[in-house]
Amino acid sequence: MLDTERFTTVKVVAVADLHYTPEAEASVVPTLYEIAALGDILVVCGDLTHHGLVEEATALARAADRIPIPVLAVLGNHDFHSGQEEGIKAALRGTRIQILDGDIAVVRDIGFAGVKGFGSGFGRRVLEPWGEWVMKEFVRVSVDEATKLGSALARLKCEHRIALLHYAPVVGTVEGEPVEIHAFLGSSRLEEPLNRHQVRAAFHGHAHHGRPEGQTSTGIPIFNVSLPLLRRTRPGQPPCRVLELSVPA
């Protein structure tokens, strides 16, 4: 009789858009602890801070030191607001919060790749690099983020691959936001590497008034885990998404 490999369930808990400030600590930190208690790995999909200040990131890291599970995160647009994004990454280095920016992490046999992402729109309405230099630069950043995501996913050899983003890779999870700003909420360019590398799921934030769930053209689940969105759509429940994955024990 052949031995049957034993498996165990790992719970990935996801949230985004903490928008931490010292004034918001009394609401953000207890929520973070509540969410972390539900899983084995915590992922935070951008906008860790509100004003993009190193002091905000440092204070959040101090609070996160009490979280007993691994914490993986990407930065969001708010974390870039004050031009201190490199300082924020430096301040978080070596803390409980591990920032992924084109990087990968393997935790409990689950592979994670993370980038911030960027805008440029979806489908036939995606912006192309023509016209003024500033428009070309906008699109270049979008292309670079998608390329960075694809390169990171290509390095993961795990059965389960998870993508962490701040900007949305599909329009389905931004619907509910004004159509006029869809191009600033995400990009279809982020969808292609998800399909190509057959990720198990992708999490993002940023679209506070979008929808909690969507999927890529190949059926990959996309979850919008923006904290304001989850608080509104999941009243009375912890504002997070829990993904259960089976891995070898």
Residue spans per domain, the chain: 7-248
pLDDT of residue 241: 97
Least confident of 26-30, 82-86, 118-122: 26-30
CA distance 173 to 185: 10
Give mean pLDDT, residues 194-202: 98
120 pLDDT exceeds 50?
A: yes
Cross-sheet strand order for the sheet of 41-45: 97-99, 71-74, 41-45, 7-15, 241-248
33 pLDDT exceeds 80?
A: yes
pLDDT of residue 149: 98
Give yes or no for a contact between 62 and 94, defined as CB atoms under 8 angstroms apart.
Answer: no
Of the candidates 83, 64, 47, the residue with the CA atom closest to the CA atom of residue 165? 47
The helix (run of H) or strand (run of E) holding residue 194 is: helix 191-196
Phi, psi of 139 (to 5 degrees): -70, -35
Fold of 7-248: Purple Acid Phosphatase; chain A, domain 2 (3.60.21)
Band of residue 4 on the pLDDT scale cut at 50, 70, 90: low
pLDDT of residue 1: 40
Give mean pLDDT, residues 215-230: 98
H-type alpha helices, 72-186:
85-92, 133-154
Strand (E) positions, the chain? 7-15, 41-45, 71-74, 97-99, 103-107, 110-114, 160-164, 201-204, 213-215, 221-224, 241-248
